[in-house]
Amino acid sequence: MTEQNQTKTNKIEQFDVAIIGGGINGAVAAAALSAAGQKVLLVEKDDFAAFTSQESSSLVWGGIKYLQTYEFLLVFKLCLARNRLMRAYPNQIKQIGFLASLGENAPFGRVLGTFGTLFYWAIGLFGTKAPASYSAKVAKELEPNLITGRKAVKYYDAELPDNDSRFVFDFIRHAERLGADVRNYSELVGANFDGEWQLDLKAGRKKTQVRARSVVNATGPYAKEVSEMLQAPTEAGLVFSKGIHLVLNRNITSDYRVLALWDEQGRLFYVLPMGDRSMIGTTDTRVENPETEVTEEDRDFVLRQINNQLELKVPITKDQVISERCGVRPLVVEGGGSGDVADWHQLSRKHIVEANKDRRVVTILGGKLTDCLNVGEEIVAELKEFGHSVAKPKDWFGEGSQARRQEFYDLVFARATFNAEEIAAGMWRRHGERAFDILGAEPKDLFPGLGITEEEVRYIVSNEKVVSRDDLLRRRLPVAMARSSKEIAGNKALQQLLVELGL
């Protein structure tokens, strides 16, 4: 080796593990591996959670609908994963009732529905509140927008009030606290294996190289592509199911709950909370490419379903839609192949982790946000098999101590003139004890109803790797989902603040 090359090699940073992809799976891998004592690098070509992990229904759930396809083991595992997350995130994950209206598209009536929800409760080891069953009269009283004459059942799961992408960032933050080097806007563009990995990264115009003993491929819908770049192709195949959501300019439920309805194809769809507004969806359409957008056909379909399945005084039209979400579920086809199954909707939603020991690559395929803790732990186990000396990961997720929660709420109520409840809940949920330092003397809600203050925006921009307005308003905070672009543009205080902060 020449002296010049030697100097070059010396400058190359060395990691135990390089994780490619900063969606939920990359983020949990980074947190778990750092807690296991590894020197970790995570690179994400866009912002953290800027792809699939910002387009989900933001539910933490056991997958009640998979009972219909007899996937009992999957439901059991997802319920356990849900319960574990609910315990670890008492504020960021909120238990919520699903009121299912049993119309003619529902695959069962009240008796079977009652039995099914009880079974779901039991398979989830009674980790939620108990289900309930309602006559048509009581259902209508509970939720006046339900169609008159329809009975209903209720079961419980959980949701992420600040959205999926904020939840991903929580793991990024844990990873960073535990020593990981986490880089958004940094793409893997080339790789060379010589017993260890030499990786070419591109961040804007800047190109760098790093070395890592092993690579975790957590690129979601791009997992096959990246595994080929790494010359470690996976056995399992991936196919894509597109799903969209539309957010409305109002809340169409009478309480904090999800409405579960069945569409004209007999598939479950939902009215979900999005901040103080409602979100409707989703769809399940097979597509060939991961890059998708909401089409007119998608909008018409979702609006037709909601108007047909509810008795709304004012029907929902396109001009009431303030924001949209669109993504693909990467679905695993075990053993490879194109997923040409008789019923597309029957393809399993479970994740798999494939390890290529010769090339020291672990690839994650498919899965759900709900299963993220298992994914993190499975990856640690795979790297142990590769010979990494990993400890059992400890303290790598969760909200931490709740001991000062009431003290913080009292402080907000003493300082805020309006919307103290929303401000206290939002800040505590997103920042825990750090909220004491963020609060400021006179906290004011920038968007009444969302509980977000100027001080919080300043904190996030300075501390949470925000590069663009979208990073801040779409992913660290749910503003760009729960408010229209017109409302955001018309909010003078926010606009001035963004300009001052260089966004």
Ligand X SMILES: Cc1cc2nc3c(=O)[nH]c(=O)nc-3n(C[C@H](O)[C@H](O)[C@H](O)COP(=O)(O)OP(=O)(O)OC[C@H]3O[C@@H](n4cnc5c(N)ncnc54)[C@H](O)[C@@H]3O)c2cc1C
Distance CA 481, CA 474 (A): 7
Residue 329 found at the interface with ligand X (CB under 6 A): yes
Interface with ligand X in residues 348-367 (CB under 6 A): 367
Q: What is the DSSP string of 439-480?
A: --SS--BSSTTT--BHHHHHHHHHHTT--SHHIIIIIISSHH
Q: 283 vs 419, which CB is nearer to ligand X?
A: 283
Distance CA 79, CA 120 (A): 9
Q: Are strands 13-20 and 40-43 parallel, antiparallel or unpaired?
A: parallel
SS3 state at 391 = coil
Residue 221 found at the interface with ligand X (CB under 6 A): yes
Residue 470 found at the interface with ligand X (CB under 6 A): no
Buried-exposed string 221-254: b where 16+ CB fall within 10 A, e elsewhere:
bbbbebbebbebebebbbbbbbbbbbbbbebbbe
Give, in order, the Cα–Cα distances in Å from 174 to each of 53, 63, 392.
17, 27, 16
Give, in order, the Cα–Cα distances in Å from 327 to each of 292, 305, 309, 469.
7, 20, 24, 20
Q: Name the minimum Å distance from CB 52 to ligand X.
A: 3
- 63: closest CA among 84, 52, 79? 79
Residue 309 found at the interface with ligand X (CB under 6 A): no
Q: 369 vs 466, which CB is nearer to ligand X?
A: 369
Interface with ligand X in residues 156-175 (CB under 6 A): none
Q: Name the minimum Å distance from CB 392 to ligand X.
A: 23
Q: 59 vs 310, which CB is nearer to ligand X?
A: 59
Distance CA 33, CA 388 (A): 10
Interface with ligand X in residues 40-69 (CB under 6 A): 43-46, 50-53, 55-59
Residue 273 found at the interface with ligand X (CB under 6 A): no
Q: 3 vs 293, which CB is nearer to ligand X?
A: 293
Q: 203 vs 503, which CB is nearer to ligand X?
A: 203
Q: 175 vs 488, which CB is nearer to ligand X?
A: 175
Q: 330 vs 443, which CB is nearer to ligand X?
A: 330
Q: Name the minimum Å distance from CB 42 to ligand X.
A: 9
- 110: closest CA among 124, 131, 126, 125? 131
Distance CA 388, CA 403 (A): 37
Q: Which of residues 18, 22, 30, 397 is near ligand X by CB under 6 A? A: 22
Q: Binding residues for ligand X, per CB under 6 A? A: 20-26, 43-46, 50-53, 55-59, 187-188, 218-222, 226, 243, 282, 327-329, 367-370
